[in-house]
Every structure is written in structure tokens, then in C-alpha cells.
């Protein structure tokens, strides 16, 4: 086995033809996306197989992020259960602090899952990550309240949240790499968009359940047992997702490396040594996704109900409507990135956030329910320009030998520092500044940094996947 590798994107046509002769399975051998010489699909990969890959990636990522949605949407209830002795705002900050702390383990998880995914295969890493995540989520439903076991209740919650953070660190990156390596060369953006779409679907189900439970149950019922119900669903969903994943072969690109005994022993070391520039660019590019995702799609119901005084059920309904449109926009964005390039779409997202975020939050402050829904749809559509493009952009930045590691480390470092902390920081900024516009300024700053990072990176959509 080779110990390290040099990146190779532009290979000559003769070299590319030789690789196709060695294996007809690999999507990276298809040549530039828009070239008429290219075959549209990876040879040897049928539609049925690709559909299974899409289904497995969708279900697995859906289960992983369903929990994050439930925790964020039921934050007020969780605060009452685990921090009953604190005042509402302090308790809410403690709840979001636990949310943020669980993200601190994600860079470590990114290194470990990335190493496993690049060394033993994407499928194996993804199968274990969903099993750990669904088991930990199920355990949250079993934690006694603060009134029953005292300080041990939030301690147990913290421990399980850390386990969840470790598991989630391998899911998004692995599923994206898996899809990109199976996708037809001219549709990698659309295929990779399945990952954020499944994430949003997990959020959608979480929002629907939160709205249903808060609408049907009293406050006492919610605090006694109602909040536990969504977490109990994780076990059966996780087992289904794991079953589907274990029935698949690994991606053609990884199988080619394994067959040629070209899987490197230390992918993380190779990543830092040979691809540190791409790694820094990727961390910056993820920043808008990290902050925007958790502020707009997870924290928003709490912001509307606790900061703006909107009815709790109405805030869930508004977020649910926005999520439905968000899922549709995600796939449109994936297709746009295939047609116009990743950089152009990502830069458009950053510019729109810099220009429109503050006015959008001002409109939220009007309290008009219809206006709130329209603003959330607008913010969600803007976010999809980033979210729907980022998975293919990050997967294409790194060669196959370190693709999982490069994606997982960059994505999780940025999310650990800025994503998981976003609800906490937003609540803290509002408390210290006294301004409900504080989350908007935070989003605009993230967009500015992402704009610089993307502008400095190379376009990836019209090039073959890097092999080495």
C-alpha cells in the first residue's frame, strides 16, 4: 500500500483512457461534466443500484438529523425538564450550551470517521454511524427528569449528546462522498443534494411532531412524557437505515482503490500535508452553512416564540411550511450547480445573505404570521443556494484517497466552532445587546467569510473526480 499520494486532477487523455480500460465502474473516469465525449453514467452501475444508494443515504442522514431537530424544537420543554431551577432565559442558554458542547467532539469524530471511511470503506463507516446515533437518541427518551435524579439528569443528557455528536460527524460527509462517487458525472450536484434534502426532511418531521405534540398535549403532559415520544422513534428508523446500507456495495471509486491496493494508510496525515489549502478553503466555505442551518432551520421556532412572543404552535407551523419549500429548493440548487458551476451558486448565496438578512429579520419583528412565513421561505431559499451546492463542492475538492477525511474534518471543524454554538451565541447576543437583530449580524458575518473562502477556491463541477 502506498503511504501517501499526490493530487491528480488533470491527467492526460491517454492516462484517463487507461484508467477506464482498467475499470469501467468508476465515476471519476467520465471526464469533464459538459463534454459530449462522456458517458452520462458510471459504467456497470445500473439505475436500480443508484436508487438503492440514494435511498440508503437519504434514510441514514434523515435519522441522524431528526434528533437534532427534535432537540432544537423542544428546547423550551427540555429546559423545564432538565433545568427547572433556572430562570427561563438562563435555562434556555444552558439547554443550547449542551447542544453546543456536543459539537466539540465532532472534529475528533471527523478524524476518526474520515480515517475509517478512507481506509475500510464508506459503507462500513456509514453503517456504524447510524447504529450509534439511533441508539444514543433512543437513550435520551429514557433519561429521568431533574426532579427525579437531580444533577445527574443534565449530566446524562450531556454524555448522550456527546455520543450523538461523535456519530453525526461521520454521516453528512460520508453520505455525500458515497453519492458523488456513485453519481453520473453530469449530475453530481443533484445527487449530492439528497444529503441536505434528507437533513431538512428530518427537521420537517421534527417540526411536525413538535407542533402536533404541543398542540394536543398540555404543558404538564409535554414535560412529563410527551417530549420523550419523538426520541423513541429513532431506534426502529435507525435499524431500517442500517439494514439498507449493509445491503450495498461500496462506491466504485473506493472499490477501484482497494482492488489496486492503493488505499493509503494515513489519509489524515496526507490531507494535512498535501491538501491543507483546500482544507482551509473548505472550512471557510462551510461557515455560512454551519451558522445559517442552525439559526434558520433549528433555532428559529425558539427565536419566534421566546424573543418575538409568537405563539409556540404557530412558530412550529411557520417553520414547517418553510421547510417544505426548502426541500424543493434544495434539488433545484443541485441542478443549478451542475449547470452553472459550484462557485457561482455558492457566491450568490453569500452575497444574498450579506444584503438581505438584516431586512428579513426586521420583517420578522412585525409579528405578522403571513409575513413571518414568507420571510422564512425567503431565508430558506437563500440557504439552499449554499446547502444544496456544498456537498458536491466539498466532495469534489479532495481526491478519492482522502475524500471522506477532507470532507469530514472541514465540515465538522466549522460546525463545531460555529454551527452547534449558533443557537447559544444568538441567544447570548440578544441577551447582551438587547437587540433582536443580533442573529442577523452573526449570519452576515458568516456569509462574508464564506464568500472569501469560495472566491479563493477552484471550480470543481466541470472536472473529473480526483483519483489520487
Q: Please check whether residue 436 lies inside any domain of the structure.
A: yes
User: What average pLDDT does the segment 215-229 reach?
Assistant: 88
Whole-number pLDDT of residue 390:
94
Whole-number pLDDT of residue 243:
82
Q: Please check whether residue 468 lies inside any domain of the structure.
A: no
Most confident of 3-7, 48-52, 272-276, 346-350: 346-350
Neighbours of 3 (CB within 10 A): 9
Asked whether 92 and 79 are in contact (CB, 8 A), the reply is: yes
Q: Please check whether residue 130 lies inside any domain of the structure.
A: yes
Asked whether 65 and 202 are in contact (CB, 8 A), the reply is: yes
The residue segments making up the domain with residue 166 are 51-455
Torsion of CA 25, 29, 31, 34, to 10 degrees: 30
Whole-number pLDDT of residue 44:
58
Whole-number pLDDT of residue 337:
94
- For residue 188, how far is the Cα from the chain centroid? 17
Whole-number pLDDT of residue 254:
84
Q: Tell me the three cell numbers of residue 430.
A: 440578544
Q: Please check whether residue 15 lies inside any domain of the structure.
A: no
pLDDT band, residue 242 (cuts 50/70/90): confident
* Calpha distance 439→422 (Å, rounded): 9
Q: Tell me the three cell numbers of residue 11.
A: 491527467
Query: Total structural domains in the chain?
Result: 1
Whole-number pLDDT of residue 357:
94
For the cut 70, the answer to whether the pLDDT of residue 278 exceeds it is yes
Q: Please check whether residue 19 lies inside any domain of the structure.
A: no
pLDDT band, residue 106 (cuts 50/70/90): confident
Whole-number pLDDT of residue 144:
93
* CATH assignment at residue 441: 1.20.1250.20
CA-wise closest residue to 64 among 139, 148, 129, 158: 129
**Contact residues for 87 (Cβ-Cβ < 8 A; gap 6+):** none
Q: Please check whether residue 220 lies inside any domain of the structure.
A: yes
CA-wise closest residue to 336 among 395, 288, 386, 287: 386
Most confident of 90-94, 102-106, 434-438: 434-438
In angstroms, the Cα distances linking 132 to 136, 169, 242 are: 6, 11, 10
CA angle 129, 134, 136 (to 5 degrees): 95
Task: Say what percent of the chain tops pLDDT 90.
Answer: 28
Q: Please check whether residue 3 lies inside any domain of the structure.
A: no
* Overall pTM > 0.85: no
Whole-number pLDDT of residue 79:
83
* Calpha distance 145→151 (Å, rounded): 9
* Calpha distance 278→460 (Å, rounded): 12
Asked whether 252 and 23 are in contact (CB, 8 A), the reply is: yes
For the cut 90, the answer to whether the pLDDT of residue 267 exceeds it is no
> What does pLDDT average to over the chain?
82
Q: Please check whether residue 5 lies inside any domain of the structure.
A: no
Asked whether 334 and 389 are in contact (CB, 8 A), the reply is: yes
Amino acid at each position: 500500500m502506498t503511504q501517501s499520494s499526490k493530487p491528480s486532477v488533470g491527467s492526460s487523455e491517454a492516462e484517463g483512457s487507461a484508467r477506464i480500460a482498467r475499470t469501467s465502474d468508476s465515476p471519476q473516469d467520465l471526464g469533464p461534466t459538459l463534454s459530449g465525449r462522456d458517458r452520462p453514467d458510471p459504467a456497470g452501475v445500473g439505475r436500480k443500484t443508484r436508487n438503492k444508494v440514494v435511498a440508503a443515504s437519504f434514510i441514514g442522514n434523515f435519522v441522524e438529523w431528526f434528533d437534532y431537530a427534535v432537540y432544537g424544537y423542544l428546547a423550551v420543554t427540555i429546559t423545564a425538564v432538565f433545568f427547572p431551577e433556572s430562570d427561563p432565559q438562563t435555562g434556555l442558554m444552558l439547554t443550547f450550551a449542551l447542544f453546543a458542547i456536543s459539537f466539540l467532539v465532532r472534529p475528533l469524530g471527523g478524524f476518526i470517521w474520515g480515517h475509517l471511511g478512507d481506509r475500510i470503506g464508506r459503507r462500513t463507516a456509514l453503517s456504524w454511524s447510524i447504529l450509534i446515533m439511533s441508539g444514543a437518541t433512543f437513550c435520551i427518551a429514557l433519561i429521568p427528569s431533574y426532579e427525579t435524579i437531580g444533577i445527574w439528569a443534565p449530566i446524562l443528557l450531556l454524555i448522550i449528546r456527546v455520543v450523538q455528536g461523535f456519530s453525526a460527524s461521520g454521516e453528512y460527509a460520508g453520505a455525500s462522498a458515497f453519492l458523488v462517487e456513485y453519481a453520473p458525472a453530469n449530475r453530481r450536484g443533484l445527487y449530492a443534494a439528497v444529503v441536505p434534502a434528507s437533513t431538512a426532511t428530518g427537521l420537517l418531521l421534527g417540526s411536525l411532531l413538535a407542533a402536533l405534540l404541543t398542540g394536543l398535549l398540555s404543558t404538564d403532559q409535554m414535560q412529563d412524557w410527551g417530549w420523550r415520544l419523538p426520541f423513541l422513534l429513532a431506534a426502529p428508523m435507525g435499524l431500517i437505515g442500517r439494514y439498507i446500507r449493509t445491503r450495498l456495495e461500496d462506491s466504485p471509486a473506493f472499490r477501484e482503490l482497494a482492488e489496486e491496493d492503493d488505499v493509503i494508510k494515513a489519509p489524515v496525515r496526507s490531507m494535512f500535508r498535501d491538501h491543507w489549502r483546500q482544507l482551509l478553503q473548505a472550512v471557510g466555505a462551510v461557515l455560512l452553512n454551519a451558522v445559517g442551518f442552525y439559526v434558520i432551520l433549528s433555532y428559529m421556532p425558539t427565536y419566534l416564540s421566546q424573543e418575538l412572543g409568537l405563539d409556540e404552535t404557530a412558530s412550529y407551523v411557520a417553520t414547517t411550511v418553510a421547510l417544505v419549500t426548502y426541500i424543493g429548493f434544495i434539488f433545484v440548487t443541485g441542478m443549478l450547480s451542475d449547470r452553472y458551476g459550484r462557485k457561482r451558486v455558492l457566491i450568490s448565496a453569500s452575497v444574498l445573505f450579506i444584503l438581505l438578512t438584516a431586512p428579513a429579520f426586521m420583517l420578522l419583528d412585525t409579528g405578522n404570521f403571513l409575513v413571518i412565513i414568507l420571510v422564512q421561505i425567503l431565508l430558506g431559499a437563500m440557504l439552499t443556494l449554499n446547502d444544496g451546492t456544498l456537498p458536491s463542492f466539498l466532495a469534489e475538492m479532495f481526491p478519492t484517497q482522502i475524500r471522506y477525511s477532507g470532507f469530514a474534518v472541514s465540515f465538522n471543524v466549522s460546525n463545531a466552532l460555529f454551527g452547534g454554538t449558533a443557537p447559544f451565541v444568538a441567544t447570548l447576543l440578544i441577551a447582551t445587546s438587547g437587540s433582536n437583530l443580533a442573529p442577523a449580524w452573526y449570519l452576515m458575518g458568516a456569509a462574508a467569510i464564506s464568500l472569501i473562502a469560495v472566491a479563493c477556491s477552484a471550480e470543481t463541477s466541470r472536472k473529473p473526480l480526483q483519483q489520487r
